[in-house]
């Protein structure tokens, strides 16, 4: 649907504007210029307020679109429950015919996706030994759309590790063997990327991508 | 109350809300596109947005960059360039053939990988007859005698070696060059992607 709107944005807009012109014209034709005063006043107020609200909400709407895609549809393996990660087994070109969101990705990466919700407390992100293989996990804040944290080759290296994911307001220490990551909100979009050199390397990359997991902290608090 | 509702229904208030809301959306799109354009650096027909996904962007910029490049990586993680035009500013189309010439040592510097993908105008990969829609630094590109690398972009397979061929969709298309863990020359802004040049038959 998004793809259709993006592709035919101009004609769709032209049709909608033509309908508006016709509505205003009909009113003036029936009751003179004063017949459109309430319409015009309301339209201007809604217009000005609406611009502010749309710009303010745009990052949230965009990230929310990914949230819905994850929680309702998933990436080929069915809906992805909150606080779980799904590794897409195929490369982007192999999904090209399906119109999947993954077809906008890079062909050299296997993607991992999930929606993090810390309302019920911290979660643990486990990453396996990547042995020098490029990977990253991006944490995108839904209110600003900013990437507020990264785990991966660039930021934390390719060794096995556990990360305690916390809302920033939370007090307390992470267990000694874990690195603590503070997120500004209680939820985040997680996008993982694991390098796959080609079809021959895909199986090995997928085995590693599947081992990137979200779990509940092992001990009760 | 009944009188009030019938006044609302007949007065055009409802139509005003609909028209105002739709105009607000269109205005937002125009504003965000203009802000995104101001944030976009263009060189040789390639566009890049360095601040996409960065924390600390303001009210307009964060919205505009989510519209332009939704949930992409920060620039230090992955640099993205897109091109919808060739080096002379003409729209890219599968009806024509193009070449990108990387002089010796001028492939995108990186600590992970780079890849060049041809997509439809919206950004989705397109199934091509060859089953391939990108070339990258590990797909066996052949270098010229002087160490430079030419990538051919055209819909039909070229005569001779196909390692350096990126199949393009038949209609208008878009290119995306990704460089993961970009090198210092990219992060500092010194690196420029060479132009896409039309090859005349």
List per-residue pLDDT tens for chain A, 221 residues long.
566 667 788 898 999 999 999 999 998 998 888 888 989 999 999 999 999 999 999 999 999 999 999 999 998 889 999 999 999 998 877 765 566 677 788 889 999 999 999 999 999 999 999 999 999 999 999 999 999 999 999 999 999 999 999 998 767 777 778 899 999 999 999 999 999 998 889 999 999 999 999 999 874 33
- Cβ neighbours of A169 (radius 10 Å): 10
- What is the per-residue pLDDT for B5? 73
Mean pLDDT score of chain B: 91
User: Do residues B61 and B114 both lie within one domain?
Assistant: no
Cβ-contact B64, B36 below 8 angstroms = yes
Chain A residues inside the 8 Å CB shell of B35 = none
Residue B125 sits in the same domain as residue B191: yes
CA-based nearest distance A110→chain B, Å: 14
Task: Say whether both B98 and B179 belong to one domain.
Answer: yes
Q: Cα separations (Å) of B132 from A178, B43, B79, B97?
A: 41, 27, 22, 17
pLDDT in tens, B5-48: 777 777 788 999 999 999 999 999 999 999 999 999 999 999 99
Do B118 and B155 form a contact (C-beta atoms < 8 A)? no
Query: Based on the domain organization, do B62 and B105 belong to the same domain?
Result: no
Q: Give me the pLDDT at residue B133, please.
A: 79
Contact B133, A107 (CB under 8 A): yes
Domain containing B3 equals 1-44+57-73
pLDDT at residue number B27 = 96
Confirm whether B150 is domain-assigned: yes
- Contact: A108, B65; criterion CB under 8 Å: no
Q: Are residues B191 and B107 in the same domain?
A: yes
Every domain of chain A and the residues it spans: 72-215
At A3 the pLDDT is: 65
More confident of the two residues A215 and B3: A215
Q: Which of A146, A150, A168 to mutate to test the interface with B (most CBs of B within 10 A)?
A: A146
Strands A179-183 and A161-167: parallel
pLDDT number for residue A220: 39
Shared-domain flag, residues B68 and B109: no
| Closest CB from B20, B71, B134 relative to A46 | B20
Measure CB to CB from residue A46 to each of B16, B62, B133 and give the nearest one.
B16
Angle CA(A203)–CA(A209)–CA(A178) in degrees, nearest 5? 145
| Residue numbers in B near A93 (CB within 8 A) | 125, 127, 131-134
Q: Counting beta carbons within 10 angstroms of the beta carbon of residue B51, is it exposed (0 to 12), middle (13 to 18) or buried (19 or more)?
A: middle
- B49 domain residue, yes or no: no
Kindly state the tokens that stand for A134: 């490029």
Residues B69 and B91 in one domain: no
In chain A, which residue's Cα lies nearest the Cα of B117? A106
Q: Does B148 score more than 70 pLDDT?
A: yes
The per-residue pLDDT for range B98-116, each reduced to its tens digit, is 999 999 999 999 999 999 9
Question: How many domains would you assign to chain B?
Answer: 2
Task: Give the helix/strand (H/E) hosting A193.
Answer: strand A187-195
Same domain, B68 and B137: no
Provide ipTM, 2 decimals: 0.88
For the segment(s) A72-215, the CATH number from 2.50.20.10, 3.30.2350.10, 2.60.40.1610, 2.60.40.1730 is 2.60.40.1610
**β-strand B165-167 against B46-49: which pairing, if any?**
unpaired
Sign of CA dihedral A65, A8, A102, A180: negative
Q: Which of A145, A151, A196 is most worth mutating to test chain B (most B CB atoms within 10 A of its CB)?
A: A145
Give the per-residue pLDDT at A219. 47
**Cα–Cα distance, B132 to B148 (Å, whole number):** 23
The pLDDT value recorded for residue B1 is 62
A vs B, Cβ pairs < 8 A, gives: 183
Q: Which B-chain residues 91-130 have CB contacts (< 8 A) with chain A?
A: 111-113, 115, 117, 119, 121-127
Q: What is the dihedral of CA A89, A91, A93, A94, to 10 degrees?
A: -20
pTM: 0.88
């Amino acid at each position: 649907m998004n793809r259709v709107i993006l592709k035919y944005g101009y004609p769709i807009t032209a049709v909608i504007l033509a309908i508006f012109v016709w509505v205003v014209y009909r009113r003036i034709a029936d009751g003179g210029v004063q017949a459109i005063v309430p319409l015009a006043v309301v339209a201007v107020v809604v217009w000005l307020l609406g611009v502010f609200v749309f710009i303010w909400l745009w990052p949230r709407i965009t990230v929310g679109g990914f949230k819905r895609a994850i929680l309702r549809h998933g990436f080929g393996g069915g809906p992805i429950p909150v606080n779980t990660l799904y590794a897409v087994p195929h490369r982007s070109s192999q999904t090209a015919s399906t119109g999947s969101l993954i077809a906008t990705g890079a062909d050299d990466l296997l993607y991992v996706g999930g929606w993090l919700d810390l309302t019920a407390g911290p979660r643990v992100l486990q990453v396996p030994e990547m042995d020098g293989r490029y990977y990253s996990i991006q944490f995108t804040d839904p209110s600003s759309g900013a990437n507020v944290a990264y785990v991966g080759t660039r930021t934390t290296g390719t060794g096995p590790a556990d990360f305690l994911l916390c809302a920033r307001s939370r007090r307390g220490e992470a267990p000694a063997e874990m690195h603590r990551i503070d997120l500004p909100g209680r939820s985040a979009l997680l996008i993982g990327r694991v390098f796959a050199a080609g079809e021959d390397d895909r199986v090995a990359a997928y085995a590693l991508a599947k081992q990137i997991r979200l779990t509940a902290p092992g001990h009760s608090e | 109350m009944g009188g009030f509702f019938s006044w609302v229904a007949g007065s055009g208030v409802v139509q005003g809300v609909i028209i105002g809301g739709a105009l607000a959306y269109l205005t937002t799109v125009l504003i965000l596109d203009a802000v995104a354009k101001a944030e976009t650096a263009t060189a040789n027909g390639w566009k890049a947005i360095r601040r996409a996904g960065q924390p600390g962007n303001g009210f307009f910029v964060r919205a505009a960059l989510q519209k332009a490049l939704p949930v992409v990586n920060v620039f230090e993680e992955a640099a993205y360039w897109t091109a919808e035009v060739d080096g002379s500013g003409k729209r890219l189309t599968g009806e024509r053939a193009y070449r990108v010439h990387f002089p010796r040592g001028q492939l995108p510097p990186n600590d992970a990988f780079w890849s060049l993908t041809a997509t439809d105008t919206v950004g989705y990969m397109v199934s091509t007859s060859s089953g391939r829609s990108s070339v990258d630094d590990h797909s066996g590109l052949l270098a010229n005698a002087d160490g430079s690398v030419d990538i051919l972009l055209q819909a039909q397979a070229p005569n001779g070696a196909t390692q350096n061929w990126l199949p393009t969709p038949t209609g208008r298309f878009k290119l995306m060059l990704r460089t993961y863990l970009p090198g210092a020359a990219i992060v500092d802004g010194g690196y420029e992607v060479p132009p896409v040049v039309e090859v005349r038959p």
